[in-house]
């Protein structure tokens, strides 16, 4: 494990909860320009998952459940596998994150021991891939010291969990960052909380690039970032053919970035990139896709990047007013298998991965 610690003073922050009721039920309307997600020549050793907040928790679930497919994970402000347990939204808020206390820190109760026990059981049952696959895999973790939505101790637990299974962890936990995804493209200062949760931090006066850090950890030597016009293409793809629908709180369309070389048949890698609560496209447009800072590296290092998209919804559809990914079991109202390969939303997301990698 390598720890990176940089400390500066930044403004105080306050972050939103995951499931505060803020929007009405959304409708999925297929965009007329949506295309069919294509297959590409993907190196099976270069298939990764990344996510922030609810997308971070879900990225952990995807990584653990499909550790034979995903060969690394980048987790921003997420938490341990099956963090919500069987307790639903109330347990998720109390134990894992999303609920800011009067002390301006996120509610937290360690679920590490329960998580490891559940992971071991499901691995033995075969409802997830063998935990043995996690040994030696590269993992990147980001936790801002001023994150009042996901307690830094939650990310410390995730660090301990990955180390328990032998993963090679880089843990960025020294920046005074608010809850969000860090990128040189982020529109908010490092310690500034709130929408769109895209922050930019600095080291010695220069923008930090967390994506560069984890891609180097995953791939080794990188070609330089494309800071100009991207040569690859961004397009909208149809999510409904994979099962996206209001009952799993997934939009009818998502976004995919394809480098020119990958389009032309070169063997490439892949990143499944999952946004956080209140970062779905109907709310913040294309800011997640454009500010994440992944495309600029993907363009020059031949990585197809798939950005699925959620919708906000309320009863009688799943109660998900902030458009979060499902890490506590809201899919199909109550999904006890939400963290397993058979999970309702997990299955939809994995079918997208299977398509891009040529397995479907």
Q: Which residues are catalytic?
A: 53, 147, 179
Task: Tell me, letter by letter, the H, E, C secondary structure of 183-210.
Answer: CCCCCEECCCCCCCCEEECEECCEECCH
How far is the CA of 18 from the CAs of 50, 97, 228, 321, in angstroms? Answer: 19, 8, 35, 9
CA distance 61 to 64: 5
Q: Are 73 and 67 in contact (CB under 8 A)?
A: no
Give bridge partners of residue 73 from the DSSP assignment: 49, 139
Q: What are phi and psi of 273, to 5 degrees?
A: -115, 120
Determine the length of the chain: 360
For the chain, the C-alpha Rg in angstroms (whole number) is 18
Rounded distance between C-alpha atoms, residue 12 and residue 68, angstroms: 41
For residue 149, give both structure tokens.
């939505």
Q: First and final CA of the chain: distance in angstroms?
A: 36
């Amino acid at each position: 494990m390598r720890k990176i610690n940089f400390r500066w003073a930044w403004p105080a922050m306050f972050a939103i909860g995951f499931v505060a009721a803020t929007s009405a039920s959304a409708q999925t309307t297929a965009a007329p320009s949506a295309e069919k997600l294509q297959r590409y020549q993907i190196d099976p050793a270069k298939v990764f998952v990344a996510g922030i907040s609810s997308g971070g928790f879900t990225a952990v679930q995807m990584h653990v459940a499909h550790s034979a497919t995903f060969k690394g994970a980048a987790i921003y402000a997420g938490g341990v596998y099956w963090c919500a347990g069987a307790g639903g939204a109330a347990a998720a808020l109390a134990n894992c994150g999303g609920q800011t206390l009067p002390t301006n820190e996120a509610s937290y109760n360690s679920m590490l021991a329960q998580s490891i026990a559940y992971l071991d059981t499901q691995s033995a049952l075969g409802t997830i891939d063998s935990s043995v696959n996690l040994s030696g895999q590269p993992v990147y973790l980001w936790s801002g010291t001023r994150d009042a939505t996901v307690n830094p101790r939650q990310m410390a637990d995730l660090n301990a969990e990955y180390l328990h299974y032998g993963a090679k962890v880089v843990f960025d936990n020294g920046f005074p960052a608010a809850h969000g995804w860090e990128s040189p493209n982020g529109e908010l200062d490092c310690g500034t909380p709130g929408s769109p949760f895209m922050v930019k931090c600095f080291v010695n006066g220069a923008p930090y690039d967390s994506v560069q850090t984890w891609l180097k950890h995953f791939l080794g030597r990188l070609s330089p970032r494309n800071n100009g016009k991207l040569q690859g293409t961004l397009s909208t793809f149809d999510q409904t053919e994979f099962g996206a629908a209001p009952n799993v709180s997934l939009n009818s369309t998502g976004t995919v970035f394809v480098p020119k070389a990958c389009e032309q048949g070169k063997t490439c890698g892949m990143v499944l990139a999952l946004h956080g609560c209140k970062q779905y496209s109907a709310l913040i447009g294309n800011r997640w896709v454009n500010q994440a800072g992944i495309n600029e590296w993907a363009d020059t290092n031949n990585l197809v990047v798939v950005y699925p998209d959620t919708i906000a919804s309320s009863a009688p559809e799943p109660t998900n007013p902030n458009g979060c990914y499902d890490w506590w079991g809201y899919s199909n109202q109550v999904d006890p298998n939400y963290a397993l390969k058979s999970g309702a939303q997990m299955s939809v997301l994995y079918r997208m991965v299977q398509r891009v990698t040529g397995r479907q």
